[in-house]
Amino acid sequence: QVQLVESGGGVVQPGGSLRLTCEGSGSISGIYVMAWYRQAPGKQREMVAALVSGGTTRYAESVQGRFSISRHKVENTAYLQMNSLKPEDTAMYFCKITTRANEYWGQGTQVTVSS
């Protein structure tokens, strides 16, 4: 059974940094995309960053230049480095892994940016 577990969320002041981790367990093969999404209260879930097999990255315009997605070379683990955080970055952050046959979601980790 595939399971994704996010960690690294918390409360941080504006301008601060956090690093989120998404650890995948179980049989995950043929990963095509590893991505981070977020959902703030009352808003739709939105893609924040994505890493396509081969190394191509995509970012939401709102986080371009501040966030960086990467993955472990061997393990099914993705990271999201978040710098210069703003109050509008406050949301539940979710990890998603897409393979050629399935997609998997984690349960999320809360990020709160507040002074």
Chain-centroid distance, C-alpha 30: 19
Q: What is the pLDDT of residue 90?
A: 98
Q: What is the pLDDT of residue 74?
A: 75
Q: What is the pLDDT of residue 101?
A: 87
Taking residues 63-88, report their average pLDDT: 94
Instruction: Name the band, by pLDDT with cuts 50, 70 and 90, for residue 30.
Output: confident
pLDDT in tens, 8-20: 999 999 999 999 9
* CA Rg value for the chain: 13
